[in-house]
Amino acid sequence: MDFFNCMKTWFKHDYNARNDEKLVNLSMNEGLEGLAIYWCLIEMLYENNGSLDNNCERIAFALHSQKDKINKIINGYSLFKINKKQNIIFCDRVLSQLKEIDNISKKARIGAKIKWNKYYANAKRSQCDRNATAMQIEKRREEKKEKIEKIEKNLQATPAEEIIPDLLNDKQKYIQIIGLWARAKKINFTGKAHQQSFIRRNLRAAQNLVPYDINRIMETMAYLIKNADFKSTLESVGKFIDEDLVKLHNKNKTIII
């Protein structure tokens, strides 16, 4: 891992954070488990560029906790903020540190660029190449700036365009499986609510498929979409995941669920 990527894998943690009044109240009421959940939520905010969907049920599933406890920690101790219109959770300090990390990264890249130029000052480079390099650096800076501004804009109370998450790039395998099934069925989500409904309806079936190789899952999906004489579902994929698909095809066997 290079220096610039490494910078994105850490965040500041004050050594006396446990003495913060809000965290003391949290610890008194929820014990060490409450503190552990708090820091897990902070990590999740950093992993998601400063915001999380306000979905306590999904967060509880990810942290192996209870929905009511997650909801209480998010809403009961003034440790987090919620944008009701965007239905997202955020923390001012996390956003501030993300900006700081981005600024440090920019300065480090500029320093590295200066050092590189000193070593290779005598290298011949056309004016066109120098202009192109400068434009690329400026473009990357603008892209990073726009990314931070977009996060801040989404956290404001003013209405913003709803962003539908990409299920195929989710870190949870069961969400990726649901995304593959949506793609196989050519589902076009009309919004977050539509997508969340689709996830809930296929959640149990997707979780049952997690132990299987993703290529095997895709093969079974493709087979059912092409050959099944019934309305196939993600549960159908689970029922046929262990079958010999080639043998079924060669025998032209009628599939019955």
Distance CA 15, CA 13 (A): 6
Distance CA 134, CA 129 (A): 9
For the stretch 71-89, pLDDT in tens is 999 998 888 989 989 989 9
Do residue 223 and residue 127 come from a single domain? no
What pTM did the predictor assign?
0.38
Final residue belonging to a domain, choices 128, 163, 198 = 163
- Whether 257 is covered by a domain: the verdict is no
Distance CA 88, CA 81 (A): 8
User: For the residues 115-142, what does the mean pLDDT come to?
Assistant: 75
Distance CA 11, CA 113 (A): 25
pLDDT at 214: 93
Do residue 88 and residue 144 come from a single domain? yes
